[in-house]
Structure 1
Amino acid sequence: MKFDLHTHHFRCGHADGNIRDYIEAGIQNGLKVIGISDHTPYFGHPEDRAFPHIAMAKSEFANYVEEVLSLKKEYDGVIDVLLGIESDFFPEHVEAYRQVLNSYPFDYIIGSVHSTGGVSIFNKNRWKHLGAKEQIAVKTEYYRLIGESARSGMFQILGHIDAMKGNYPGFSDIPAPGPLDECLKIIGDSGVAIEINTSGKTKLSGGWYPSDDILERALRYGVPVTFGSDAHKPSRVGDELEQVAARLKEIGFTSWVYFKEQRQIEVPL
C-alpha cells in the first residue's frame, strides 16, 4: 500500500500549489493514503506571522485544519486524506505548542528540529571557522534536541533526522556516534517513528534523509519507519517511494507505518 505523510502547500510561504493539488497528485501516483502536513505557525512568537517565507500565520491555522477536514470528506472512498502538521521543536515553547496542537484532531504530528543555537540547520555558513571539537558539539546538540523531541510525547513521527547534512554534506562525517546512538535509543524506547524523507535530493547533500548507516542503527534499536516525500510542489508527491521500500528491505526492515487518529498502522513492505 502506497502512502506519503509529508506534504506542504502555499500557506507555508515556500511551497507551490494548494492542498487539492497534492491530493490529486497522490491519486495520480497510486497512493491510497496522503498526509497533509504543512509547517506550524511560530506559536512561541508574538507576531501573527513571524517568518512569512518559512511558516503559515497563526490566523491561518484553523483555516488550514478546516480545509483538510473538508477535503478528507470530499475524497472519502477515493484516497484517505490525513490531517497532519509539521511542528518545529523548541524546548522553551513546548507547552505553547502542545496546548494549540492538542486542540485539533490531528491524525499525526511530525516533530522536526530546524535550528540549533538559534541558527537554521540548513545555514551552511554556520560551519565556517568551526574546529573539530566545535563541530562535534553542534552535532551533539542537534541529536540531543531530537532525542528531547521524542521524549516530549508530542509527536508520532520525527522529521528528517539528519537534515543538517542538507547544505553541509560534511555533517555526516563529523564523528559523534555516541550522541546519535543515544538519540536512536531514546526514539526506539519512545515508540516514535522516523521518516525516510526523499527531499534531501533537492539539497547539496543529495540522497535521502536519513543515511543508510542511520537506518541500520535505527533497525537495531527497534525504531519504526515511515515515508514522506516532503513535497513542496505537487510533482514530488510519492517521489522515490518504491526505491525507498526496496532499500528498507535490503537493510532488513519488513514493514513501515503510518498514523491515523494517532494510532500506528503497520504496513508490510
Structure 2
Amino acid sequence: MKFDLHTHHFRCGHADATIEDYIQAAIEAGLDVIGISDHSPYFFSDQDRLNPGIAMAKSEFVNYIDEVLRLKAKYEGRIDVLLGVESDFFPEHAGLYRDIYAKYPFDYIIGSVHQSRGVSIFNRNRWKGMSDERKQDEKRHYYKLIGESARSGMFQVLGHIDAMKGYFPAFSDIQADDAIDEALKLIAQSNVSIEINTSGSTKDVGGWYPSDAILERALHFGVSVTFGSDAHKPSRVGEDWDRVARRLKEIGFKKWVYYKQKQPVIVPL
C-alpha cells in the first residue's frame, strides 16, 4: 500500500501542473493513495491573495476543494484521491483557520510552521551575524511553535518538522534536544503524525525531513509517521518512498499511516 499525502499544484503560485497531472503521475508511480494538499490561503489577510507566489487566493479555496472532490469521484477504483490541505500555523489566527476548515470534508490537514517570529524558516539571512545563544533561542522557539501546532487539535499531520535546515544545514548542529523532545512528547500526546518529507533533496540540505536522529527520538516517544513527497512537480510524486520505508524499518518503526476522513489508516512497514 503506497501513499503520498503531500503535493502542490498551480494554485499556490510556485508549483507546476494541475491536480489531475499529479493524480496521473501517482498512478504511473504505482501509488494506491494520493493526497492533494496545496497551500492554504492567508485567511487572516484583507487581501484576496497575499503573497501570490506562496499560497492560493482565498477566492480559489472552494474551487480547489470542488476540483479535488470531482477528481476523487472520477478516479474512484483506480486510485484513492484524498482531500487535504497544507495549512500554515499562526497561533494568533488558529481559531479563524479552524472554523474555516470545519466547513469542508477534509481527509486530513497538514500543519506546517513556515514562519517563526514573522520570518520565513527558509530565509537564509535570518542566521547572519547571529550569536550561538540567539541561534539556540530561535531553534527552541521554532519547536515551541511545532508543539503548539500539535496541541491545537487542528491537524492530523505535521509537515517537515526540521525544515529550518533546508537552506541552513548547520541548523541540525544547534543544541536544543530538550526543545525537540518536548515537541515530540506533545505530538505523541496529541495523536498527530509527523511526515517523512523528501523535498529536502530539492534544497541545500539534501536528503529528507526530519533527520534520522529526530526519527529515532520520535520512535522512542511513540510518535506515528506518514509520508509526503511535498512534490511541486508531478515527476516527484512518491519520490524515495521505498528508500524511506527501508530506513524507517532500520530505525525500528513497524508501521506508518495515512488519513481518510481524519482517521488513521495503518500500513505495515
Q: TM-score range, shorter-chain basis?
A: over 0.9
Does residue 189 of structure 2 align to residue 180 of structure 1?
no
Partner residue, 2:192: 192
Deviation at 1:88, TM superposition (A): 0.1
- RMSD value, Cα: 0.3
Matching residue's letter, 1:253: F
3-state SS in 2 of match to 1:195: strand
- Secondary structure in 1 aligned to 2:40? coil
Aligned AA (1:204): D
Distance 1:46 1:136 in 2: 35
Q: What is the CA distance between 1:134 and its match in structure 2?
A: 0.2
Q: Secondary structure at the match of 1:256?
A: strand
Cα distance in structure 2, aligned partners of 1:151 and 1:46? 27
- Indicate the residue corresponding to 2:201 in structure 1: 201
Q: How does 1:44-63 map to 2 (within 5 A)?
A: 44-63=44-63
Structure 2 residue 80 is the aligned partner of structure 1 residue 85: no
- Tell me, in whole angstroms, the C-alpha distance in 1 between the residues paired with 2:111 and 2:81: 20
- CA deviation after TM superposition for structure 1 residue 46, in Å: 1.1
Shift of 1:45: 1.1
Cα deviation code 1:1-52 (max 9, x no counterpart) = 1000000000000000000000000000000000000000001111100010
Which aligned runs of 4 or more in structure 1 are off by greater than 4 angstroms?
none
1:112 CA drift (Å) = 0.0
- State the Cα deviation string for residues 42-76 of structure 1 (Å, max 9, x = none): 01111100010000000000000000000000000
Distance 1:79 1:258 in 2: 14
**CA distance in structure 2 between the partners assigned to 1:53 and 1:68 by the alignment:** 21
Alignment correspondent of 1:240? 240
Q: Which whole-Å CA distance do the structure 1 matches of 2:263 and 2:184 have between them? A: 21
Q: How much has 1:199 moved relative to structure 2?
A: 0.1
Q: Deviations over 1:145-166 (max 9, x none)?
A: 0000000000000000000000
Give the gaps of 5 or more residues in structure 2.
none
- The one-letter code matched in structure 1 to 2:161 is I
The secondary structure found in structure 2 opposite 1:108 is coil
Q: Distance in 2 between matches of 1:214 and 1:178?
A: 12
Q: Deviations over 1:121-147 (max 9, x none)?
A: 000100001001100000000000000
Q: Tell me, yes or no, if structure 1 residue 123 matches structure 2 residue 116.
A: no
Structure 1 residues without counterparts, runs of 5 or longer: none
Q: Counterpart of 2:175 in structure 1: which amino acid?
A: P
1:107 aligns with 2:123: no
Match of 2:256 in 1: 256
Task: Give distance in 1, aligned partners of 2:183 and 2:63.
Answer: 35
Q: Which amino acid aligns with 2:37?
A: S
Distance (Å, rounded) in 2 between the aligned partners of 1:41 and 1:156: 19
TM-score (norm 1): 1.00
Tell me, in whole angstroms, the C-alpha distance in 2 between the residues paired with 1:45 and 1:116: 18
